[in-house]
Chains A and B, each alone.
With several copies, the nearest count.
Chain A
């Protein structure tokens, strides 16, 4: 018996006798052949009291430098937004935390209504009429959108902007290798998708086109133009969007995007070293019956009362099995709940205010950094929450380390994913990074770049 089980010696005796076996081992012996039974104890450390598990996990936590411990401008797909306290409270409630997927609508109206509200919020955000109740996270949402396109039009070629998150491109490639689609990458030009190359790449065999808004370099793409270029092809236009700037950026639904997916972490979810968060998945009406995952719908019950249920389940694996639109089962309900609570917390005006604030601060930060010796803009496109600079040949990894030693994480080394930007640095803003923080970044980065150039100079 452990702290989580309850079979006392007295219970055990009665239970075994009711079953008619003489020991628990007999239950296993009679069902599992001897040659596959584990004849030894598991080679794992002994169990620990709660306080010691806490102590151990706290020590591990202390070996990490979190966004609580440094001034961080690291983004590149996940962002250190403030998660309001109401979210912790609501997600911590047993009633939201512990139920399974709402298979019994009578005792799951809370979850079902929350899903429905979440879908409504995503529709509002994206300007697309249908949304599912969540998929795993951003990059796999992109890949799932690819699968949707594959099912919808069967065309074998996917055109992918190099501005799409590297993880999305990689994940899409992994999935596409399975279901069978070939990927053609379109390069960037002046920080955005090369419009000419993009248009040229799209043809009658194109099943889907993929871009990101803002793109990985932080630049705002001309989404409407990118979508328009695919208009005369069979391609499904798929955009991966950051939801935060959608308070000020033209929504995908108004740009001709067919499927909008994205990483939901920024909507009230913690960084958590990368997950769990959620992926959102919205589309035009045309793709409703191709959507992956759960969808909650509104209905009226036998008593004439309004209620919510899982709907269009004939798309799903538990009904359609090999003919399902996706294999997804467990998704990210709790994280999506955080998403709708966060959007409610921000509210209609708050999302706009947040977008405008980030726009101003991002501009200010870019101005401060490019004013530094040895730092130049990597592109001049409009940026709303993240931007890229070049460190003029300095070793960016070393620059970052120097900054971190001063308590400032200046961002992401673009060279990790883009050979063409070996000295690129991607700098992200959130509402948690104040002007004072930006000024401190400028100071620390300036010193670090100077020091690195001196080193390089000295060793050259």
Chain B
């Protein structure tokens, strides 16, 4: 702790007679006049004729409008959009914003979401007009910087995952999953096989099974063993040559790294299926272990998690995929290629047996800029530091909770240590103290903390999935542990 500088000047006499900290009072019915305004939508504000927009003047010779667009194709009733001045607009949305909890205001240990610090440098570089106002159909000769950035990002993601061939196209994790399952389909079809079963552990995130169905395949659930890993016997029983793929998160949503991963990969590969890595938890292992080295064929990244895209209240995200050699021919086009002279191009037919496109243009480039900046800032060592610290912080928080006795009511669901996150079970708390995980979550808000993920993963009763991330200080972890202990004490009293 820095010694506090004693440049203390005291207030003018008399001023201390007031309270210096103003709080809007919470009235008995919970609604001060200011609060009443808050749930009023922009459609209910303003007045007919107000506007924030000034249209450019008509500078071309005017032609009668119905000649240009016949009445039959014209709109009759005007869309009832808001009518507000710019000051009204600004105040409305600034006030709305202040009704959100956000990462820059407090601890946000939402498990599986990797709420790490979002550096503002990334917003700055993404706003440069050379990136932000670049049209996606600009000629490759005139978008060399963008292509170079994407090429570099692909290579970095390939190195981190151990899977060299990367497509940046998918828009989010779930979109990457869809790409991966469609790739798997193409892979089998190319071998003349129709395989429609996809194995997913019961700890899997909901997007995994949903994706399988959307890709026209069938979900087959695989159980979890007492250590929180894949139930190998169940896996062996279900793995046969009708199986297209096993989708796995590792460490999984319990924060458990499956120690049998090599064996799992062997089982899956032996029946000719592919192994898919849900990269939502990559933040645990960057620079420490690589999906490619574990035998995975396909991985998706959540750039908005491990590579610190701001979450935006539910997006945008970006879900690039990286694949092994054998999956490469099926990747989405266009492909970024680098010529011998160092120039870059987009090849619409870069992958011969491509599954096709998954969206317009080249993907969420604005997200690439940010994540690329992150990788440039941290380098290989920094990424490793991120994962190491994420794991250290999670284990330290766990240890604190144990030390404070919180673990008595909220025991760790699986294992002894954890990776970057851990799951507590609220079952004893519910039984002993008659409070549920949801109540705990609400009470945390009173203390200025965002609650962890609750009721997920589904297989843990009253689950509380806590991911502190590497960017939190020890002081914050201590304070959070203390508050959890306080809340339990409060409930006990």
Tell me, yes or no, whether B88 is within 8 Å of chain A by CB: yes
Q: Per-position contact with B for A297-323: 1 when CB-CB < 8 Å, else 0?
A: 111111111111111111011111111
Kindly identify, within residues 40 to 81 of chain A, every residue whose CB is under 8 Å from any CB belonging to chain B. Answer: 41-54, 56-69, 72, 74, 76-78, 80
Provide the bound-state CA to CA distance between A85 and B43, in Å.
Answer: 21
Q: Which single member of B10, B52, B58 contacts A311 (CB below 8 Å)?
A: B10
Kindly identify, within residues 84 to 138 of chain B, every residue whose CB is under 8 Å from any CB belonging to chain A. Answer: 84-90, 92-94, 96-105, 108, 110, 113, 115-138
Q: Which single member of B51, B101, B419, B441 contacts A31 (CB below 8 Å)?
A: B419
Q: Which of A135-143, A194-202, A447-455 contacts B (4 or more CB under 8 A)?
A: A135-143
Q: B136, B174, B398 — which one has the most chain A CB atoms within 10 A of its CB?
A: B136
Tell me, yes or no, whether A438 is within 8 Å of chain B by CB: yes
In the complex, the answer to whether B74 meets A250 with C-beta atoms within 8 Å is: yes
Q: A19, A56, A274, A332 — which one has the most chain B CB atoms within 10 A of its CB?
A: A274
Tell me, yes or no, whether B149 is within 8 Å of chain A by CB: yes
> Which of chain A's residues have a CB closer than 8 A to the CB of B213?
322-324, 327
Tell me, yes or no, whether B405 is within 8 Å of chain A by CB: no
Q: B103, B171, B262, B310 — which one has the most chain A CB atoms within 10 A of its CB?
A: B171
> Which of chain A's residues have a CB closer than 8 A to the CB of B364?
272, 274-276
Q: Which single member of A44, A168, A360 contacts B159 (CB below 8 Å)?
A: A44
How close is B172's CB to chain A, nearest CB, in angstroms?
Answer: 4
Q: Which single member of A5, A51, A113 contacts B41 (CB below 8 Å)?
A: A113
Q: What is the chain A residue whose CB lies nearest that of B131?
A: A61
Tell me, yes or no, whether B395 is within 8 Å of chain A by CB: yes
Q: Which single member of A168, A301, A316, A335 contacts B16 (CB below 8 Å)?
A: A301
Tell me, yes or no, whether B301 is within 8 Å of chain A by CB: no
Q: A53-B121, A98-B311, A111-B100 are in contact. Are A412 and B137 (CB under 8 A)?
A: yes
In the complex, the answer to whether B41 meets A117 with C-beta atoms within 8 Å is: yes
Tell me, yes or no, whether A189 is within 8 Å of chain B by CB: no
> Which of chain A's residues have a CB closer than 8 A to the CB of B375?
44
Q: Which single member of A32, A136, A327 contacts B285 (CB below 8 Å)?
A: A32
Provide the bound-state CA to CA distance between A183 and B156, in Å.
Answer: 37
In the complex, the answer to whether B100 meets A37 with C-beta atoms within 8 Å is: no
Across the A-B interface, how many residue pairs have beta carbons closer than 8 Å?
A: 791
In the complex, the answer to whether A273 meets B134 with C-beta atoms within 8 Å is: yes
In the complex, the answer to whether B20 meets A308 with C-beta atoms within 8 Å is: yes
Q: A108-B100, A124-B79, A360-B58 are in contact. Are A4 and B386 (CB under 8 A)?
A: yes
How close is B338's CB to chain A, nearest CB, in angstroms?
Answer: 14
Q: A80-B135, A120-B43 are in contact. Are A86 and B130 (CB under 8 A)?
A: no
Tell me, yes or no, whether A295 is within 8 Å of chain B by CB: yes
> Which of chain A's residues have a CB closer than 8 A to the CB of B46?
6
Q: A18-B399, A96-B100 are in contact. Are A123 and B5 (CB under 8 A)?
A: yes
In the complex, the answer to whether A334 meets B133 with C-beta atoms within 8 Å is: no
Q: What is the chain B residue whose CB lies nearest that of A168?
A: B360
Provide the bound-state CA to CA distance between A173 and B137, in Å.
Answer: 21
How close is B471's CB to chain A, nearest CB, in angstroms?
Answer: 5
How close is B136's CB to chain A, nearest CB, in angstroms?
Answer: 3
Q: What is the chain B residue whose CB lies nearest that of A49?
A: B54
In the complex, the answer to whether B135 meets A312 with C-beta atoms within 8 Å is: no
Q: A4-B87, A431-B56 are in contact. Are A100 and B214 (CB under 8 A)?
A: no
Tell me, yes or no, whether A328 is within 8 Å of chain B by CB: yes
In the complex, the answer to whether B314 meets A65 with C-beta atoms within 8 Å is: no
Q: A178-B178, A357-B58 are in contact. Are A305 and B19 (CB under 8 A)?
A: yes
In the complex, the answer to whether B313 meets A109 with C-beta atoms within 8 Å is: no
How close is B14's CB to chain A, nearest CB, in angstroms?
Answer: 10
Kindly identify, within residues 1 to 31 of chain A, every residue whose CB is under 8 Å from any CB belonging to chain B. Answer: 1-12, 14-16, 18-21, 24, 27-28, 30-31
Q: Which single member of A69, A121, A273 contacts B146 (CB below 8 Å)?
A: A273
In the complex, the answer to whether A93 meets B94 with C-beta atoms within 8 Å is: yes
> Which of chain B's residues have a CB closer than 8 A to the CB of A278?
315-316
In the complex, the answer to whether A78 meets B472 with C-beta atoms within 8 Å is: no
In the complex, the answer to whether B9 meets A298 with C-beta atoms within 8 Å is: yes
Kindly identify, within residues 352 to 367 of chain B, every residue whose CB is under 8 Å from any CB belonging to chain A. Answer: 355-367
Q: A44-B159, A86-B89, A120-B41 are in contact. Are A64 and B357 (CB under 8 A)?
A: no
Provide the bound-state CA to CA distance between A254 and B80, in Å.
Answer: 15
Q: Which single member of A4, A8, A91, A329 contacts B49 (CB below 8 Å)?
A: A8
Q: What is the chain A residue whose CB lies nearest that of B291?
A: A36
Q: Which single member of B62, B314, B318, B358 contacts A331 (CB below 8 Å)?
A: B314
How close is B77's CB to chain A, nearest CB, in angstroms?
Answer: 8
Q: What is the chain B residue whose CB lies nearest that of A46?
A: B379
Q: What is the chain B residue whose CB lies nearest that of A316?
A: B206
In the complex, the answer to whether B100 meets A95 with C-beta atoms within 8 Å is: yes
Tell me, yes or no, whether A249 is within 8 Å of chain B by CB: yes
> Which of chain A's residues have a CB closer than 8 A to the CB of B115?
98, 100
Kindly identify, within residues 85 to 114 of chain A, every residue whose CB is under 8 Å from any CB belonging to chain B. Answer: 85-86, 88-111, 113-114
Tell me, yes or no, whether A159 is within 8 Å of chain B by CB: no
In the complex, the answer to whether B19 meets A272 with C-beta atoms within 8 Å is: no
Q: A106-B445, A295-B9, A347-B50 are in contact. Are A220 and B58 (CB under 8 A)?
A: no
How close is B277's CB to chain A, nearest CB, in angstroms?
Answer: 12
Q: Which single member of B49, B58, B211 contacts A327 (CB below 8 Å)?
A: B211
Kindly identify, within residues 419 to 478 of chain B, every residue whose CB is under 8 Å from any CB belonging to chain A. Answer: 419, 441-442, 445, 450-451, 453, 456, 470-474
In the complex, the answer to whether B315 meets A273 with C-beta atoms within 8 Å is: no
Tell me, yes or no, whether B207 is within 8 Å of chain A by CB: yes
In the complex, the answer to whether B47 meets A11 with C-beta atoms within 8 Å is: yes
How close is A318's CB to chain B, nearest CB, in angstroms?
Answer: 4
In the complex, the answer to whether B85 meets A364 with C-beta atoms within 8 Å is: no
How close is B463's CB to chain A, nearest CB, in angstroms?
Answer: 13
In the complex, the answer to whether A4 meets B124 with C-beta atoms within 8 Å is: no
Tell me, yes or no, whether B369 is within 8 Å of chain A by CB: yes
> Which of chain B's residues have a CB closer than 8 A to the CB of A307?
20-21, 39
How close is A92's CB to chain B, nearest CB, in angstroms?
Answer: 6
Q: A46-B379, A220-B69, A334-B315 are in contact. Are A4 and B119 (CB under 8 A)?
A: yes
Q: Per-position contact with A for B140-154: 1 when CB-CB < 8 Å, else 0?
A: 001111101100000
Q: A47-B376, A64-B145 are in contact. Are A113 and B96 (CB under 8 A)?
A: yes
Provide the bound-state CA to CA distance between A61 and B146, in Å.
Answer: 7
Provide the bound-state CA to CA distance between A60 and B150, in Å.
Answer: 11
Q: Which single member of B51, B73, B384, B445 contacts A3 (CB below 8 Å)?
A: B51
Q: A61-B128, A104-B441, A105-B15 are in contact. Are A274 and B363 (CB under 8 A)?
A: yes
Tell me, yes or no, whether A116 is within 8 Å of chain B by CB: yes
Q: A28-B288, A64-B138 are in contact. Are A139 and B359 (CB under 8 A)?
A: yes
Q: A11, A278, A357 — which one has the most chain B CB atoms within 10 A of its CB?
A: A11
In the complex, the answer to whether A273 meets B365 with C-beta atoms within 8 Å is: yes
Q: Which single member of A8, A49, A109, A131 contacts B38 (CB below 8 Å)?
A: A109
Q: Which of A231-239, A348-356, A369-377 contacts B (4 or more CB under 8 A)?
A: A348-356
Q: What is the chain B residue whose CB lies nearest that of A337?
A: B313
Tell me, yes or no, whether A344 is within 8 Å of chain B by CB: yes
In the complex, the answer to whether B216 meets A180 with C-beta atoms within 8 Å is: yes
Q: Which single member of A1, A140, A304, A308 contacts B385 (CB below 8 Å)?
A: A1
How close is B73's CB to chain A, nearest CB, in angstroms?
Answer: 5
In the complex, the answer to whether A317 meets B207 with C-beta atoms within 8 Å is: yes
**Can you give 9 A-B contacts (C-beta < 8 A)?**
A4-B378, A7-B474, A15-B395, A80-B135, A98-B118, A100-B110, A108-B313, A120-B43, A305-B21
Ordered nearest first, which 9 A-B pairs have the shortest CB separation? Answer: A61-B130, A334-B312, A274-B361, A63-B145, A307-B20, A274-B136, A276-B316, A42-B380, A47-B379
User: A301-B18, A326-B214 given. 5 additional CB < 8 A pairs?
Assistant: A44-B380, A97-B310, A137-B360, A309-B11, A329-B206
